[in-house]
Amino acid sequence: MKQYRKGVVVIGCFFFERLTVMFRPKRNGTAVLAILFLTIQPVAWSQQEETRPPGGSTLADQVDLVRGASVCAPTDAPASQLAYDVDLLVVNSRKSRSLSIVPGNPGRSTALRVTVVDLPTPFEIWNGVEMWVGPPTGICELGAQVVGCQPSETEPGIMVAALQCDPHFADWSQFSGYGFCTTELICLHSLDQPCSTNADCADPAIHVQGDAIVPSRLDLSVVDPILHSATYAVQAVDVTCSLDLPENFSPALSVATARWADVTSLSDGVFKAPDDVVNTFDVLATISKFQAFARAPSLVSIDVVGLGSSGPTPVVDNTVTISELVAIIGAFGGANYPFVPGATPCGGTP
């Protein structure tokens, strides 16, 4: 019992210190958020272990690679590229509303096709729909978000791209986000890799977004809930290849989203990959991003909804507003993803 109390004191001190940092008066309404957070925290500690699905966080640090040659690889390409012309890598940390991939294929013009494989209810009606990754946009995010900027060593940021209905060919290696190197010499907002300067934190990931990217689902209304992962297949195809021949596409890279509003976990005082649990750390991370706290998780993790004139919308908007906080707190209370399928994306026939 003494050890338990000691642990509670340590955790309490940790949160007090974090709140002291975050709640310097920067924005109206901060005091309200602080009270809100302090109100829900006791509930959080009592619930956080109850919402973990069977199997735990087996996908939390997923890194996977598909690599293979397309039958129509251009004959003038170096032999070394012929063997690797369809590299695709899913990077560390799933997101609720984005697919984070590294397209690979430097020096080659490819298009990236996203096929809906298996979505949880009620989005299963979209299974089989095909879309394409559109042109990337840079978002600098060390502090306030600046959409349309070019991330660099001095302006850390991410590259995002919306799904669209037509293929977009590009040498995707020309696009790079940048994390920033913390005093602990770990890159934040990128691959959490060791670093000595920001130059070590180049991040080749493209974060693919759209209303067809929906979160995995854990239905807490049933006994023994099982996480239904929302999965997508990403394939590359070279610009020289016919899009009508399935064999011209790369092997499929399977990418899953995180559970709804599971935006992070916390380890050694640093926000890490989602852990299949929605608890105080997810709320804390969202508040910290709302406050433009530099060590908050990346925007692409926290941005889970858009904000329209009549409330939240299913298309993320590259900003973190009170809508994100409401969504995360709702999920913490057991709410599922609040949106339902609209028209089939791209008018496809699943």
Contact residues for 93 (Cβ-Cβ < 8 A; gap 6+): 60, 61, 100, 192, 272, 273, 274, 301
Stretch of 95-103, 235-243, 245-253, 265-273 contacting Ca ion, by CB under 5 A: 265-273
Stretch of 30-38, 120-128, 232-240, 268-276 contacting Ca ion, by CB under 5 A: 268-276
- Distance from C-alpha of 127 to C-alpha of 115, rounded to nearest angstrom: 8
Among 275, 284, 291, 298, binds Ca ion (CB under 5 A): 275
Burial 244-277 (b: 16+ CB within 10 A, else e): eeeebbbebbbbbbbbbbbbbbbeeeebbbbbbb
Among 292, 317, 335, 348, binds Ca ion (CB under 5 A): 317
Quote the least distance from Cβ 200 to Ca ion, whole Å.
27
- Residue closer to Ca ion by CB (options 11, 125) is 11
For residue 282, state whether it binds Ca ion (rule: CB under 5 A): yes
- Residue closer to Ca ion by CB (options 154, 267) is 267
Q: Between the CA of residue 148 and those of 120, 162, 305, 322, what are the distances in Å?
A: 33, 13, 19, 22
Are 249 and 70 contacting, i.e. CB atoms less than 8 angstroms apart? yes
Stretch of 38-46, 77-85, 256-264, 333-341 contacting Ca ion, by CB under 5 A: 256-264
Quote the least distance from Cβ 98 to Ca ion, whole Å.
12
- Residue closer to Ca ion by CB (options 103, 120) is 120
Stretch of 9-17, 199-207, 283-291, 309-317 contacting Ca ion, by CB under 5 A: 309-317
Contact residues for 320 (Cβ-Cβ < 8 A; gap 6+): 145, 286, 289, 290, 299, 302, 303
Cα end-to-end distance, the chain, whole Å: 56
For residue 118, state whether it binds Ca ion (rule: CB under 5 A): no
- Distance from C-alpha of 142 to C-alpha of 199, rounded to nearest angstrom: 15
Q: How many residues touch Ca ion (CB under 5 A)? A: 8
Three-state DSSP state, 160: strand
Quote the least distance from Cβ 305 to Ca ion, whole Å.
5
- Residue closer to Ca ion by CB (options 52, 168) is 52
Quote the least distance from Cβ 49 to Ca ion, whole Å.
12
Stretch of 11-19, 74-82, 246-254, 296-304 contacting Ca ion, by CB under 5 A: 296-304
Among 190, 303, 328, 336, binds Ca ion (CB under 5 A): 303
Are 300 and 207 contacting, i.e. CB atoms less than 8 angstroms apart? yes
- Residue closer to Ca ion by CB (options 132, 281) is 281
Among candidate residues 2, 25, 5, 24, the one with its CA nearest the CA of residue 13: 5
For residue 211, state whether it binds Ca ion (rule: CB under 5 A): no
Q: Which residue has the tokens 């302006």?
A: 155
Are 255 and 12 contacting, i.e. CB atoms less than 8 angstroms apart? no
Dihedral pair phi/psi, residue 329, rounded to 5°: -65, -40
For residue 262, state whether it binds Ca ion (rule: CB under 5 A): yes
Q: Applying CB under 5 A, which residues contact Ca ion?
A: 262, 265, 275, 277, 282, 303, 317, 319
